[in-house]
Every structure is written in structure tokens, then in C-alpha cells.
Structure 1
Amino acid sequence: MISEEYLYAIALRECSLIGDINFQKLVRTFGSAEEAWKKAKKDYSKTEGIGRKTVSDIGNEEYLKFAEKEIKFCEKNNILIKLRHFNELPHLLNECDDAPAVLYQKGTIENSLQKISIVGTRNMTSYGRQFIGEFFETMKPYKYISVSGLALGVDKEVHEQSIQRKVPTIAVLAHGFHTLYPSKNKKLSEKILEEGGALLTEFNSSRKPDRENFIQRNRIIAGISPSTIVVETGFGGGSVSTATFANEYNREVYALPGKITDPYSQGCNQLIFQNKASAISTLKDLADSLGFSHSKEKVAELFPRSEITIQLTDNQESVYQTIKAHPQVSLDDLAQMISMASYKILPIILELELLGKIKSFSGRQFTAI
């Protein structure tokens, strides 16, 4: 039997001006969703940043009736209800300021396993498919959970490869559990559950897959994992928003570089150029960066280092040698050392990353490989 706190939590979150952040403020002030429901309308001034208008919907009996129906729907359909203020969310997601107050879950999540979010365009190319296949092959010795958004293209490939490789996978939905979008992936969603994975959503059963929900969904994909990999995306693609959320949450972001003429590599190249993602040079380096140490056995690489000596330009050589002599050097310090404007250095940094000569870290820091 689900306790009444879940009933009041769903009702409180349903109020029109009570988003996830305001929900947390009220729960902190009043101690529970139930107490907030009963007292916040009268004592709203006790909560910083909450005004009379914000709490105007609280106490509406229609929301309690909706919450009762929602709980019955969840019980009937084997859906778990997770509350943030009970610390029931995956722990990394729980750390995010705007984490969902209420999360709905089908299936199981092994919280002790590291999660890796992998996202990309719906218009995946053979290049993206090759990378995903070789990534899962490289990660074969390790235990982890993949996370994606159950869309067509890259997301679908990630979930399917996970199932094929016996890797548990989490699909984050942009709607309630009353439907499945896209409908083409219904069988895939069932397979995810059969193979020990999970489906997650912050949206109740009344919420349709509206356009704005997908951006909101992306923050969960970014927040649930320490690392996000962007496989392919165009300028302004949805995966760019996932990378942006990941940066805001101080997570690591990696992007697969490609030709500047390939439309679905342009978003990845832009993330790398703007220092919002580290360029993926080899699969071994990526696995190491994700925290998985390799044995001495040779690992196949998507971008193996060439045995041919690469001839660097004068500017590339100057930047490379300075970084080599000063590991973890920042962009500002690098600019000062070689007397070159930072905006001129960034394109050279990208070139050196693509050549596999250097590696970038968060905070615009670089080291030679």
C-alpha cells in the first residue's frame, strides 16, 4: 500500500505554479508534501521566493482526486513512484537542483552500477552506427548501465546494442506510461524490461509526448549519469540540449567528431570547438576517461593512432609543445605562455584533439597524450 505522502506529492506537483524547485522549497519548509499541501497556502511567507500566486492552486480537491487515480493506475500497471525528498531517485540525479520531485519507474535499476548516457540524432548515419557497435564491443569486459531516450536513430541503436550485449539499459520517456512514443519502439521497450532494464519518466499518465517535454526529458538523461556521450547531432539538435544540461550539472561530456561537411557531425564539432565536450579520439581513451581501466590486451580502436609521424604546422607545434610541458594547463595560461589570443588557439586545440595529440578536460584545461 502506497503511503499518503505519495498522494500529496503527486497532487502538490500537479499545481500549476509548483515546479520541481518550488516543490523542494515547500517540502524543506514544511517537512513533507502533506504538510505543505495543508499549510503552504496560509503560511507561504515562511518559504523564501514563494508568493501568494505560487500557492494559489494548493488545496484544490481536484488535484487530490487526480493523484488518487494516478496511484491506482501505477498499482495496476506495476509502476513504481519515486519521491526525491525520500531520496528514492538515482543518487546522481538527486543531486541536481531541478531534479524531478516525482519520478515514475517501470523495471529495475541497479544503483551500484555506473551509468553512461549515450544520445544522438534520429537520423543516424553508418558512421554513428559503427561507433556505437565498436563502443559496446570495447566495453564488453565491464559492468555498467546505458541510458538513452528511446527515440529512433542513435537512441534506438543504443538500447538494441545494450540488449544484444546483455547490458542493462534505461530509457527515459517524454510522456506518461499510458502510451509509448514512438509506437515503433513499443516492442523494444518491452524487451528492455524483459532484459532487466528500466523505463523512467517524470510525466504522469495524463501527459502526452508534447514537443517541450523532450527538452525537459533530456535533463534527466544528463543528470542520471556522470558522463554523456554525443554520437551524432546537427546544429541545435536535441542532443545539444542534453550536453548543455550535463555541463550545467558538472558532468563529463564527450562528442564524436566528424567531417565539417557532414550535417550530423556539425553539432558534435561545435560542442568540441566551444569546449563543451571532449573530442573522442580512440575508444580506449574514452573507456579510460569513463573510469574503466583496461588490461594490457590490445583493444580495437575506432580511430587507431597512425604509425606515420604527423607533421604539425608551426602553430600546432607551438601549442602542442607548450601543453606537453605544462600538463593540465588552462586556456588563459596557454594564451599567455605563447602570446596568442585564446580565440585563435581554440581552432588549433580542436585540430590537435582530432589528430589525437592532446586531450581536453572540463574548465578549459588540456594535456598532451
Structure 2
Amino acid sequence: MITEEHLYAIALRECSLIGDINFHKLVRAFESPQEAWKHAKKDYSKTDGIGRKTVSDIGNEDYLKFAERELKFCEKNDISIHLRYRNELPHLLNECDDAPAILYQKGSIDYSLQKVSIVGTRNMTSYGKHFIGDFMEATKSSEYLSVSGLALGVDKEVHEQSIQYKIPTVAVLAHGFQTLYPSKNRKLSERILEEGGVLLSEFNSSRKPDRENFIQRNRIIAGLSPATIVVETAFGGGSISTAAFANDYNRDVFALPGKITDPYSQGCNQLVFQNKASAISTVKDLIDSLGFNHSKEHVAELFPYSEINIQLTENQKAIYQSIKAHPQVSLDDLAQMISISPYKILPVILELELLGKVKSFSGRQFTAI
């Protein structure tokens, strides 16, 4: 039910210098958005870290008029409004310091189910598509929610495969509900709702899909779930920011490794190499790590290793043997021992790590497995 409380919450959040964290501070100090709206401009000193300039916009009638239009739009389009200070956000997201003050939702879903966020590049390859299909098929008997961002590529595949396997899915938008970006996914968004999923956004209905919104959106994707899976991404791809948020929130991150020559595996390989994600070696191991109560059906290994005798190249052999002879050797010491520049050694070590022959530690130290 939409109330006057929602009206003042929206108006307060629209003030130019009131972001999610300042909103939370004000409501904590004044006990409600309405009281903050009425008194914060005069009594801002009650709130730690907030000065006169921050509250200068509060009380502007234009924001109340905007909030009235927003409430009418939400009522007309069956959009529910969740307020963080009332603990109405999904509980894991609510734990995040920078969680959205207001979350708009279309559709209904059971947030008590376990969640897993799955993200990746818009330029998905058959390798990524095959992995998503294998993962969804293997987890179809588990009760959980998939979470992604309704972009093209990996996100689209996650939502479509979720629908195919009857897994409720959450699509987090980088804009308000007056638009749908990309427009190619409009029918998919309708199917998500029809099949018991939801669309979420922290943005008011008129917000466009501006570039900076996507980074904000990514923190919600990471915050909703105890684990984030990065399927494919290039160096510096948007999914790297989602993994960074998940790490900041102390959540599990998994990355699908690939060839070092594949552009859209390089970001995943980098996450693994920097110890910012666990490498996915088999779908079965991933499911076990997620703690899913999966069925006893056979789960094929993504990278079967028991039947393969790994043949190392000469370079790989030389570096592997040196690491094996000197456990937890540093990169600089290793370079000195074998007279090869560190920048030439690093790619080979990553190859060995992906082959399960070497493990890296903080401080660029390595040991043989």
C-alpha cells in the first residue's frame, strides 16, 4: 500500500545532494522521511557528517510534486515501493552500507529462496552459452532465484534459460520503469513477469539508462546474492565492477576461466589470478560450493581432468619445476632463478593455475599443487 511516507521518501531522495547514505543518516536522525523533510534544513547539525549545503534542497515543493506524479505512475503500473529504513529490501541487500534507500519492484517473488547472481559480457560466445545451459540444467531441481541485469548477451541468456528451467529470475534495471533498455528485451521482460520473476530498479520512473547508472545497478546485483558468477568478460568489462562489489560485500565470487587468447575470458582469468574469484573447474564443484541441494542426477564435469594426462610445454615445465622446487616462491625470485622477465612468466603461471598445477598467494607468491 502506497502511503504519505512514500511521498516524502521519494521527495527527500530526489534532492540533489541526498544520496542513499545521506538519506539513511537523515531518516535515522529524524526518525522518518517526513520529519527529515520538515526539520533537516534548520536542524541539520543533528545529523553527523551533513552540512548546510547538503540539506539546501530539502523542502522544495517541486520535489513533492514530482513524488506525487511518481506515486500515481507506480499505482497505475502495479509497481511496489520498498523502503530500506523499514527493512523492506531483501535481507542481504539491506546489509550493504550503500544499499538503495528506495527500491521499485514490478512483479512478486519469494526472496527467502537462495539467490545466485550471474553476469557477463554482452558479447557472449558459445562457450559462455554452453556453460549457462549446463549450470541451469544441473540446478533445475534446486529452489533458488537467479539474478542478472537484463542486458544482451550473458544476462539475456541467464533470464531465458531460467524461464526455460522454471527458475524464478530477478532482472535489475539501470533505469526507471518508463523505459526498457535494451528495447530488444521488452518481450523477455514480459515473460519474466509472466513466469513468476520480477523487475527491480532503484531509479525513479523517468530516469534514462545513463552510463553511470549501470555501475550503480551492478552493486544491487552483487548485493542481492551470497554468490556472484562471472561467465565471460573482457579486461575492464562491466562485470568486473559487479565482482568488485561482491568482494567488498564479502560475498563469494566465481569466474569461468578460458584461454588467455580469448578476449572475453581475459577478465575472468584476471579475477582468478588476482584471487578475486574462485576458478570454476566443474559444474558439480560449483554447485557444491554454492550449497545447492541438487538432485542426484549425473552432473557432467565442465573440465574433466581425471581422464586427461596434461602435457606441459617446455616453458610451462621449466617454470613449474622451479616453483615445485621452491614452494611459495615470489615472482621476482622466480624471475631471477630462471632468468626470464616477470612479465613473460605471469601468462605462463596463469596457464599453470588454470591447469590445476600451480596455486597463487597474496604478494605474488606461488606454490605447486
When the two structures are superposed, what TM-score results if normalisation uses the length of structure 1? 0.88
Q: Unaligned stretches of 5+ in structure 1? A: 324-333
Change (3 A) 1:174 1:362: farther
Q: Is the 8 A contact 1:278 1:361 kept in 2?
A: no
One-letter code aligned to 2:187: K
Provide the rounded CA distance (Å) in 2 between the counterparts of 1:286 and 1:362: 23
Q: Is the 8 A contact 1:278 1:359 kept in 2?
A: no
Once the two structures are TM-superposed, the CA of residue 306 in structure 1 deviates from its matched residue by 3.7
Change (3 A) 1:40 1:273: same
Q: Unaligned stretches of 5+ in structure 2? A: 336-341
Provide the rounded CA distance (Å) in 2 between the counterparts of 1:167 and 1:228: 17
Q: Does 1:79 align with 2:87?
A: no
Provide the rounded CA distance (Å) in 1 between the counterparts of 2:357 and 2:118: 25
| 1:61-100 to 2 correspondences below 5 Å | 61-100=61-100
One-letter code aligned to 1:93: L
Q: Hey, what does 2:269 align to over in structure 1?
A: 269
Provide the rounded CA distance (Å) in 2 between the counterparts of 1:304 and 1:293: 22
Once the two structures are TM-superposed, the CA of residue 115 in structure 1 deviates from its matched residue by 0.8
| 1:23-34 to 2 correspondences below 5 Å | 23-34=23-34
Q: Hey, what does 1:205 align to over in structure 2?
A: 205
| 1:104-143 to 2 correspondences below 5 Å | 104-143=104-143
Provide the rounded CA distance (Å) in 2 between the counterparts of 1:321 and 1:195: 56
Provide the rounded CA distance (Å) in 2 between the counterparts of 1:293 and 1:319: 38
Q: Hey, what does 1:330 align to over in structure 2?
A: none
Change (3 A) 1:248 1:361: farther
Provide the rounded CA distance (Å) in 1 between the counterparts of 2:199 and 2:211: 19
| 1:232-311 to 2 correspondences below 5 Å | 232-293=232-293, 298-310=298-310
Q: Report the 3-state secondary structure (helix = DSSP H, G, I; strand = E; otherwise coil) of the residue aligned with 2:41.
A: helix
Q: Hey, what does 1:326 align to over in structure 2?
A: none
Provide the rounded CA distance (Å) in 1 between the counterparts of 2:168 and 2:105: 15
Provide the rounded CA distance (Å) in 2 between the counterparts of 1:291 and 1:249: 19
Task: Say how many residue pairs are matched.
Answer: 357
Once the two structures are TM-superposed, the CA of residue 114 in structure 1 deviates from its matched residue by 0.9
Change (3 A) 1:256 1:87: same
Q: Hey, what does 1:180 align to over in structure 2?
A: 180
Change (3 A) 1:115 1:99: same
Q: Deviations over 1:2-47 (max 9, x none)?
A: 2211111100000000000111111111111111111111111111
Once the two structures are TM-superposed, the CA of residue 265 in structure 1 deviates from its matched residue by 1.1
Provide the rounded CA distance (Å) in 2 between the counterparts of 1:31 and 1:363: 46
One-letter code aligned to 1:76: K
Once the two structures are TM-superposed, the CA of residue 51 in structure 1 deviates from its matched residue by 0.5
Once the two structures are TM-superposed, the CA of residue 291 in structure 1 deviates from its matched residue by 1.3
Q: Is the 8 A contact 1:275 1:364 kept in 2?
A: no
Q: Between 31-40 and 305-314, report the one with greater CA deviation.
A: 305-314
Q: Does 1:12 align with 2:12?
A: yes
One-letter code aligned to 1:89: L
Q: Does 1:148 align with 2:148?
A: yes
Q: Deviations over 1:174-199 (max 9, x none)?
A: 11111111111111000000000000
Once the two structures are TM-superposed, the CA of residue 311 in structure 1 deviates from its matched residue by 5.9
One-letter code aligned to 1:71: L
Provide the rounded CA distance (Å) in 2 between the counterparts of 1:361 and 1:166: 40
Q: Report the 3-state secondary structure (helix = DSSP H, G, I; strand = E; otherwise coil) of the residue aligned with 1:103.
A: strand
Q: Is the 8 A contact 1:320 1:357 kept in 2?
A: no
Provide the rounded CA distance (Å) in 1 between the counterparts of 2:56 and 2:19: 13
Q: Is the 8 A contact 1:144 1:168 kept in 2?
A: yes
Q: Hey, what does 1:54 align to over in structure 2?
A: 54
Compute the RMSD of aligned alpha carbons.
2.8
One-letter code aligned to 1:56: S
| Segments of 4+ moved more than 3 angstroms | 293-298, 308-323, 343-353, 356-369
Once the two structures are TM-superposed, the CA of residue 365 in structure 1 deviates from its matched residue by 11
Q: Hey, what does 1:36 align to over in structure 2?
A: 36
One-letter code aligned to 2:55: V
Q: Is the 8 A contact 1:273 1:347 kept in 2?
A: no
Q: Deviations over 1:44-79 (max 9, x none)?
A: 111111010000000111111111111111011000
Q: Hey, what does 1:168 align to over in structure 2?
A: 168
Once the two structures are TM-superposed, the CA of residue 264 in structure 1 deviates from its matched residue by 1.1
Once the two structures are TM-superposed, the CA of residue 141 in structure 1 deviates from its matched residue by 2.4
Tell me the percent identity: 79
Q: Hey, what does 1:190 align to over in structure 2?
A: 190
Q: Hey, what does 1:327 align to over in structure 2?
A: none
Q: Report the 3-state secondary structure (helix = DSSP H, G, I; strand = E; otherwise coil) of the residue aligned with 1:42.
A: coil
Once the two structures are TM-superposed, the CA of residue 297 in structure 1 deviates from its matched residue by 5.0
Q: Hey, what does 2:102 align to over in structure 1?
A: 102
Q: Report the 3-state secondary structure (helix = DSSP H, G, I; strand = E; otherwise coil) of the residue aligned with 1:93.
A: helix
Q: Is the 8 A contact 2:120 2:230 kept in 1?
A: yes
Change (3 A) 1:132 1:364: farther
Provide the rounded CA distance (Å) in 2 between the counterparts of 1:42 and 1:60: 14
Provide the rounded CA distance (Å) in 1 between the counterparts of 2:112 and 2:324: 39
Q: Is the 8 A contact 2:320 2:368 kept in 1?
A: no
Q: Is the 8 A contact 1:278 1:360 kept in 2?
A: no
Q: Hey, what does 2:157 align to over in structure 1?
A: 157
Q: Deviations over 1:234-288 (max 9, x none)?
A: 1111111111111111111111111111111111111112221111111111111
